[in-house]
Structure 1
Amino acid sequence: MRTYAIGDIHGHLDKLEEAHRRIAEDRVRVGDTDAPVVHIGDQVDRGPDSRGVIDYLIRGHEAGKPWVTLKGNHDRMFTGFMADPDSHDAGLRAELHWIHPRLGGETTLASYGVERAGERLLHDLHEEASSKVPGAHMTFLRGLPTSFARGGVLFVHAGIRPGVPLAAQSEDDLLWIRRDFHDYRGDFGCLVVHGHTPVDAVTHYGNRLNIDSGAGYGHALSTVVIEDDKVWLLDGLGREAIRPTLS
């Protein structure tokens, strides 16, 4: 039971292409062409080429590649803005808006040729964005699933709320949860693989695996391969074992 997973991309097409090259090399080494590749969410924002990332993912899905692309909170904020420039995501602090420099919406719009987002009235900005962002991109992002389960592993963007069955989890938690999920040391009944909260390096906590190594902040985009209960980081030389941390 082999599954590949890629952390938060955040508009870095070059890093995404490198991640898939590493997966292709590993497939050759192990003789596997069918194992799924899970993109953990947050395709857009902060990086320079969100448009290119979405084009790349759409092409892969349309070509029938064994890919799963999950919805992240940044993906939902993008689609929310495109539906209504006054929208405010339920997980976002009241004083912030998607185009705030901390969130990266301005760079996403720039990748579509919509410039100076932070200096313009929202409704004027939205009018131009509506003419330049392909409807197919919005359809793709809105339709992304929020979780993917395979074997004893559950893939979600941010995490899950402890004690709540998967079928009853709210989308807000799956896309935004942090502390209640991170602080839980019990058994989730599966290994939860997630991103959302950057760490210095891929970290295995025993009950969860964080694969967001901060690509959106200029750091590496991490790629892992999971086989049953074993995890490896794919680096330029091959596989590096990731073992649970001792607590």
Structure 2
Amino acid sequence: MRSYAIGDIHGHLDLLLHAHDLIAEDRRQTGDHDAPVIHLGDYVDRGPDCRGVVEYLRKGAEAGENWVTLKGNHDRMFARFLNDPSEPEEGLRSDLSWLHPRLGGAATLASYGVKNAADRPIAPVHAEALAAVPQSHRDFLQSRPTWLHRGECVFVHAGIRPGIPMLQQRETDLVWIRAGFLDDPRDHGFLVVHGHTALDQATHYGNRVNIDSSAAYGGPLTAVVIECRDVAVLTDQGRRPLQP
């Protein structure tokens, strides 16, 4: 069973389009046009064209593309801000907010035409955001699934709480977890394919594969192809096997 997956995008539409080009070339090489493309979340924040990324993915889903677009913590924070900017985010430190420079929410709002959001009072920023963000984008972000079990893999944004059945996992863990997952060497009964924790390059740990290669910080956007538990990074030169 073949699947394609793309790591954390963070508003880089140009990198997303290139990742889809790499997948299209691999499809031509294999003749397989049925394997899904699974996006691991974090479509917004920090990058220059968050609106463009959301619209591209939304329109693709609407057109019937065989894409899965999972929810990331940044996507959840954006949707939550639009619903109620005073509502706490369970996975976020209490001294931070979505508009803090470390989180990058201001870049998302700027892509919708709401300028200098981090430097102004919340009330007018929120009002402008409600007027600027299309309802179709809000609906898209809020309705994203949090995980997908396909073949021998579970695809998820951040990871899983080890030892908890997937149907009992908490959404906050699925989009935020690090401690308790990244340091757990056990086999989970499936290969976990995730992002969320930025690395210099995609890395295979045996029981999990992290494909967040720091697009948010100037790094590349990684696309992989997975067959059973065999993983390869897609490059302009073709497949590069990713070994544990």
Partner of 1:78: 78
Shift of 1:87: 2.2
Matched, 1:149 2:153: no
Partner of 2:217: 217
Shift of 1:98: 0.2
Partner of 2:8: 8
**Count, aligned residues:** 244
Equivalences for 1:45-194 in 2 at 5 Å?
A: 45-194=45-194
Partner of 2:196: 196
Shift of 1:223: 0.4
Cα distance between partner residues in 1 of 2:241 and 2:167: 32
TM-score of the superposed pair, with normalisation by structure 2? 0.99
Structure 2: gaps spanning 5 or more residues? none
Structure 1: gaps spanning 5 or more residues? none
Shift of 1:196: 0.3
Cα distance between partner residues in 1 of 2:58 and 2:162: 33
1:36 partner letter? P
Cα distance between partner residues in 2 of 1:228 and 1:85: 42
Q: Which secondary structure does the structure 2 equivalent of 1:181 belong to? A: coil
Q: Which secondary structure does the structure 1 equivalent of 2:90 belong to? A: coil
Q: Which secondary structure does the structure 2 equivalent of 1:129 belong to? A: helix
Shift of 1:131: 0.5
Q: Any idea what the Cα deviations from partners look like across 1:57-106, whole Å, max 9, x if unmatched?
A: 01111111110000000000000000012122100001101011110000
Shift of 1:119: 1.2
Partner of 2:241: 241
Shift of 1:229: 1.9
Q: Any idea what the Cα deviations from partners look like across 1:154-196, whole Å, max 9, x if unmatched?
A: 0000000111111110001001000200111111000000000
TM-score of the superposed pair, with normalisation by structure 1? 0.98
Partner of 1:34: 34
How many percent of aligned residue pairs carry the same amino acid? 59
Cα distance between partner residues in 2 of 1:192 and 1:43: 20
Q: Any idea what the Cα deviations from partners look like across 1:214-234, whole Å, max 9, x if unmatched?
A: 001110000000011211000
Shift of 1:199: 1.0
Cα distance between partner residues in 2 of 1:219 and 1:87: 32
Q: CA RMSD in A?
A: 0.6
Structure 1 runs of 4+ aligned residues shifted over 3 Å read none
Cα distance between partner residues in 2 of 1:61 and 1:163: 33
Cα distance between partner residues in 1 of 2:232 and 2:58: 27
Cα distance between partner residues in 2 of 1:210 and 1:178: 12
Query: Is the Cα–Cα contact under 8 Å of residues 86 and 122 in structure 1 kept in the other structure?
Result: no
Q: Which secondary structure does the structure 1 equivalent of 2:181 belong to? A: helix
